[in-house]
């Protein structure tokens, strides 16, 4: 029995679901659609989302524009808009709560389950995410380099991806007064 039914019907007649109940139904529907994906595909997309969130959180903040970019990459990877939103938000939360301890493990698992071209494409997407707000800071560049190394990409592959974003990579480490 829902809380609203316990209180009795609304003046309009039939009880209406609360916004929370409506959201819960929507989230359950999205989760069901994600669960309908083959487990390998779901795990692959979860890895993609997590690694993108890692790139976004390199400066200890995931901005709205970075989150929007993550969602776009996930849509390009085959998720619909609502699935991409949910997966991006879950990855953001996961990165914020356990980032440092899981980063290497998730990246290495993705390495083991992906092709070299998929790793190159994901590194390029990480650059897109990092550059989404105001260019690529020194902190973000360092994390992107870590991801590239964990993907076992060679210097030429990394340089080709980095060259696409050369005008957005900061030449110096960020200066923050008081730090």
3-class state of residue 4 by DSSP: helix
169: three-class secondary structure by DSSP: strand
Instruction: Say what the pLDDT of residue 25 is.
Output: 64
Rounded to the nearest integer, the mean pLDDT of the chain is 80
Confidence grade of residue 86 (pLDDT, cut at 50, 70, 90)? confident
Measured CA to CA, the distance from residue 144 to residue 162 in angstroms comes to: 9
Lowest mean pLDDT among 13-17, 64-68, 102-106, 140-144: 13-17
Q: What is the pLDDT of residue 71?
A: 95
The reply to whether 175 falls in a domain is no
Token readout for 161 is 């991806």
In a domain, 7, yes or no: no
pLDDT of residue 21 exceeding 60, the answer is: no
Flag whether 136 is in a domain.
Answer: yes
pLDDT for 150 equals 96
3-class DSSP assignment, residue 114: coil
Predicted pLDDT at 134: 80
| pLDDT 10s digits, 104-139 | 888 999 999 999 999 999 999 999 999 998 889 999
- Residue 91 CB partners (closer than 8 Å, separation 6+): 46, 49, 50, 52, 53, 70
pLDDT-based confidence at residue 30 (cuts at 50, 70, 90) = low
Establish if 106 belongs to a structural domain.
yes
More confident position, 123 or 45: 123
Residue 73's CATH number:
1.10.3680.10
* DSSP secondary structure letter of residue 37: S
What is the pLDDT, as a whole number, of residue 176? 44
- In a domain? residue 154: yes
Report yes or no on 6 lying in a domain: no
Rounded average pLDDT over 18-33: 58
pLDDT (0 to 100) of residue 94: 80
For residue 95, give its domain range.
19-168
How many whole angstroms separate alpha carbon 103 and alpha carbon 172?
25
In a domain, 1, yes or no: no
Distance CA 13, CA 15 (A): 6
CA nearest neighbour of 128 among 116, 144, 115, 107:
144
Q: What's this model's pTM, rounded to 2 decimal places?
A: 0.77
Percent of the chain past pLDDT 70, that is, above it, reads: 75
Structure tokens at 27: 């989230």
109 within some domain: yes
Q: How many domains does the chain have?
A: 1
Residue 177 structure tokens: 């007064």
Structure confidence at residue 97 (pLDDT): 77
Kindly list the distances between the CA atom of residue 47 and the CA atoms of 33, 111, 119, 120, 148, in Å, as whole numbers in the listed order: 18, 10, 11, 14, 15
């Amino acid at each position: 029995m829902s809380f609203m039914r316990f209180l009795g019907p609304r003046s309009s007649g039939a009880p209406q679901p609360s916004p929370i109940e409506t959201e819960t139904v929507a989230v359950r529907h999205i989760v069901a659609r994600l669960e309908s994906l083959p487990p390998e595909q779901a795990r692959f997309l979860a890895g993609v989302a997590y690694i993108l969130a890692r790139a976004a959180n390199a400066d200890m903040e995931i901005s709205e524009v970075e989150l929007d970019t993550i969602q776009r990459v996930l849509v390009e990877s085959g998720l619909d808009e609502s699935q991409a939103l949910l997966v991006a938000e879950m990855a953001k939360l996961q990165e914020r709560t356990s980032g440092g301890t899981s980063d290497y493990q998730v990246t290495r698992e993705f390495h083991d389950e992906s092709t070299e071209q998929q790793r190159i494409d994901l590194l390029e997407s990480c650059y897109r995410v990092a550059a989404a707000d105001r260019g690529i800071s020194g902190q973000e560049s360092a994390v992107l380099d870590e991801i590239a190394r964990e993907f076992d990409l060679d210097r030429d592959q990394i340089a080709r991806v980095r060259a696409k974003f050369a005008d957005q990579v900061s030449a110096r480490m960020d200066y923050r007064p008081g730090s």
